[in-house]
A = this chain, B = another copy of it.
Amino acid sequence: MRQIQGILPVPTRGRGLVEITRVANDWLAEAGAVTGLLTVFVRHTSASLLVQENADPEVLRDLERWFARAVPDGDPLFRHVEEGPDDMSAHVRGALTQTSIGIPVDGGAMRLGTWQGLFLWEHRHAPHAREVVLHYVGD
């Protein structure tokens, strides 16, 4: 048993889901991972992680549409508004999704289902330089 830890920089182009499946699998390959557990952790409170369908891009747009309606930008309910109308909505969207996901690894890659991809979800409208911590424990 051994472990490896690293940082994955994820540049975003504003609100939306950025697929990081391949870069995460590339990191595992470089680490020589075979069988184990990958933990993915996002170091932000206005971006989050999600495993979702990566086949039809309309799924990602529908996710955006549902969250935009359920957690509207500029909601008069919010008082934490210093950084603009998408500041507090970004925090709520982060709270409703994941900060951390653990994914079993086998054959040197994440054991995702056929239609699953790993995404960082940027919740702010402006582009950001995000950081994801990767931790692998296994063979």
Contacts and interface: CB of A to CB of B under 8 A. Distances in A.
A102 B104 contact: no
A2 B36 CA distance: 10
Q: How many copies does the complex hold?
A: 3
Interface of A: 1-3, 5, 35-37, 39, 41-45, 50-53, 56, 58-59, 61-63, 65-66, 69-71, 75, 77-80, 82, 88, 91-92, 94-104, 106, 111-116, 131, 133-135, 137-139
B39 A45 contact: no
For the residues of A in contact with B, the DSSP-based class is: mixed
A100 B51 contact: yes
A16 B96 CA distance: 16
A3 B138 contact: yes
B71 A113 contact: no
A62 B78 contact: yes
Given A45-B116, A131-B113, A70 B70 contact: yes
B1 A116 contact: no
B35 A5 contact: yes
A20 B112 CA distance: 20
